[in-house]
Amino acid sequence: MVYLMTSLPSLSLGEAPPITIDEFNDDAKRQLSSRHFKALQSVDIQKLDAKVGVKSISSLLNSIKEDLSEVRTAKAQNRQPKPERMPNSLLRGNPMERERNILQWQWEELQDIEAGKTFTLTEVLVYKLKLQLVERLYSFDEIKGAEVLASVVNPGKNKEGK
Amino acid sequence: MAGIKIKYTKTERARQKKILKVSERMLPLFEAMEKSLMATINTIAERIEQIREEIEKNRKAAEPWTAVMSDSWVNIDEFISVNKIVTKTIDVAGVRVQQFVKVDFNVMPINDNTPLWVDDAIELMQVQLQLLAEIECLKEQIELLEEELLDVRARVKLFENRRIPNAKLAIRKIGQKLQDDERLTIATAKVVKTSKQKEGSL
């Protein structure tokens, strides 16, 4: 665990990921016990339902899930959302600003979780989650995004008379 | 008229007069139809332009956040696709065309793991796809109306350049011929009468 954490590059939100998730997983597989590696595999910020052994992380993922659900419910009900953990101020702005705010908030929450947990499994799990956030934020690209929109928005071809 | 054989009879003259009468009655109708079709086509073309402007306006409004659509966690293609474009048959300027009603979408249910921007992207894409589908329907309407317009223009030209002038010419020629024949008959009759009178006096 100590060797793994000291060998990993430091992460910074908003910059290019210095390592890919696959590379990280390869390193972790080599250097962690199978029990720890299994725990690492189970943690994934894209899978908020997954069971995670570390309570603080599990609680964060669960809060993210519930708060996103509350935001959607509130929108459907045309009312102000009342997320429990996520500050309401994050939801201001356009969808891009909102995602950035949420990523920043998740990053800060993860930093709070890992504080004082040097060379523990928690730090390894948090590193993976933070790497996922860095990779995700780095994937936001104006040109590619416009291409994605253009690829979906083109005339439908199936036509049927009423 | 060249090459057309005219029967120089009173029946033929009556027939040509009837053709002329019908043609002169039909021509204004076809001209009105031509104008109506042209006006309708222009209106539809203007509507297409309006929709294009709306699409561009929506695209520009979304520009500040389209970067998020390249999110490595999401493949937006999987969330939305067009199932079918629903249309209904209507009559526009006497032509049966398909009018846009709505787009039926296949939208994948969004779960709690899905980032929030996906909801906004789906809404935007639905709006843009609806507008584009409407443009396609309107383009097809224009195609059908232009086909009809060509047909009507051909009819107008046929009446203006052939039927009406041909009928007028035929009536005039038959009239002249019948008049000539009548004169000839009278002259012949007079000659015969004169000859008979001369024979009688001898």
Whether residue A145 and residue B68 make contact (CB cut-off 8 A), yes or no, is yes
Q: Can you list the positions of beta strands (E) in A40-157?
A: none
Distance from CA of A148 to the nearest CA of B (A): 6
Assigned domain for B65 exists:
yes
Residues of A in contact with B82 (CB under 8 A): 156-158
The answer on pLDDT for B4 being more than 70 is no
Given a cut of 60, whether residue B77 has pLDDT beyond it is yes
Contact B117 A95 (CB under 8 A): yes
Residue A39: partners with Cβ closer than 8 Å, 6 or more residues away: A52, A53, A54, A121, A125
Q: ipTM, 2 decimals?
A: 0.88
Torsion of CA A33, A35, A40, A46, to 10 degrees: 160
Contact B116, A102 (CB under 8 A): yes
> In angstroms, what separates the C-alpha of A86 from chain B's closest C-alpha?
13
Asked if residue B132 belongs to a domain, the reply is yes
pLDDT value at residue A93 = 92
User: Of the ranges A29-38, B27-36, B143-152, which one carries the lowest mean pLDDT score?
Assistant: A29-38
Question: Looking at beta carbons, which residues of chain B come within 8 Å of A159?
Answer: 84-85, 87, 98
B174 near B59, Cβ under 8 Å?
A: no
Domain-located, residue B61: yes
Tokens representing B135 are 């443009």
Distance from CA of A157 to the nearest CA of B (A): 8
Residue B73 belongs to some domain of the structure: yes
Domains of chain B: total = 1
**CB distance A18 to A137 below 8 Å:** no
Contacts of residue B86 in chain A, CB cutoff 8 Å?
160, 162
Instruction: Please report the pLDDT score of residue B199 as a whole number.
Output: 83
| B134, part of any domain | yes
Q: Token match 């990280």: residue?
A: A24
**Range with lowest mean pLDDT among A14-18, A153-157, B186-190, B192-196:** A153-157
Residues of B contacting chain A (CB within 8 angstroms): 59, 62-73, 76-77, 80, 82-89, 98, 101, 103, 110, 112-117, 119-121, 124-125, 128-129, 132-133, 135-136
In a domain, B29, yes or no: yes
pLDDT for residue A115 = 87
Chain B residues within an 8 Å CB radius of A65: 112-113
List, for residues A78-113, the tens digit of each pLDDT value: 999 999 999 999 998 999 999 999 999 999 999 999
Predicted TM-score (pTM) of the model is 0.82
Least confident of A25-39, B52-66, B162-176: A25-39
Give strand pairing partners of A131: none
Å from A79 to nearest chain B CA?
16
* Chain B residue numbers touching A151 (CB-CB < 8 A): 77
Q: What is the pLDDT of residues B152-195, one digit of tens each?
A: 999 999 999 999 999 999 999 999 999 999 999 999 999 998 88
Q: How high is the pLDDT of residue A4?
A: 80
CA distance B78 to chain A (A): 10
pLDDT beyond 60 at A159: no
Q: Which is it for strands B95-107 and A159-161: parallel, antiparallel or unpaired? A: unpaired
Nearest CB partner across the interface for A149, out of B66, B119, B135: B66
- The shares of helix, strand and coil residues in chain A, as percent rounded to the nearest 5, are 65, 0, 35
Residue B42 forms part of a structural domain:
yes
CATH of the domain at B55: 1.10.287.3240
Q: Which pLDDT band, with edges at 50, 70 and 90, does B130 fall under?
A: very high
Domain spans of chain A? 16-139
Number of A/B CB contacts below 8 angstroms equals 128
Q: Which residues contact A142 (CB under 8 A, 6 or more apart)?
A: B66, B67
Find the domain containing B163 and state its range: 10-181
What whole-number distance in Å separates Cα of residue B181 and Cα of residue B194?
A: 19
pLDDT higher than 80, residue A3: no
